[in-house]
Amino acid sequence: MKNIKNWQKNLIAAAILVVVCAGIYMNWMYNNTESVGDLTDTLDAEKVMSQDGILLDTENLDADGNTTVDYFAAVRLSRQQARDSAVELLQEAMAYGEEAENQQSSAQLEQIVQTALTEAQIESLVIAKGYTDCVAYMSDEGISVAVASPEGGIQQADVSIISDIVLTQTDIALSDIRVVEVV
């Protein structure tokens, strides 16, 4: 009976992860008008972190001044690939592990799903507040939220709005929230 409940929990966690992955993939496909290059091409030495945010190189700008390689799509894709790899390793560990290891792997899998859902909620809420695009990345050290630069640049009020969204969706301390402007 206990084994069936564990199996059901694992199945539910896997189903949620599949739905989240499919949603992220569909969002990426919907927003991706051109193929996204390798993340090392997107995050190369030409990008400089400044006081104002991340400055993208101007070689990849189209006629409208937009980057031809979408930064946000590239970061989301990289994040999803890293998660997929972690999930695959956890599923292998669960398939060949003992019950104690399976419980630990299941807990880690549930944590990955919860993190993905929280990041997606934060991104949706930030976009709903009128920002063009954003990507959130949670880690043990805190959360980073990269936001497309609004007209006139990011202001203290913008940082407050984004920080408030993060505080309402997580239990992360204000000092562990980083808001990065992507110019």
β-pair partners for 48: 55
What one-character-per-residue DSSP string does 32-77 give? -SS----HHHHT-TT-EE-SS-EEPPGGGB-TTS-BSS-HHHHHHH
Name the stretches of the chain with pLDDT < 50: 33-63, 68-69
pLDDT at position 43: 39
Enter the pTM of the model: 0.60
Q: Where are the domains of the chain?
A: 2-182
Cβ(179)–Cβ(159) below 8 Å: yes
pLDDT at position 1: 61
pLDDT at position 98: 80
pLDDT at position 179: 94
The secondary structure of residue 174, as a DSSP letter, is: G
pLDDT tens across 110-133, in order? 898 899 999 999 999 999 999 999
Domain 2-182, CATH = 1.10.287.4300
Q: What is the rounded CA–CA span in Å between residue 127 and residue 69?
A: 20
Helix (H, G, I), strand (E, B) or coil at 122: helix
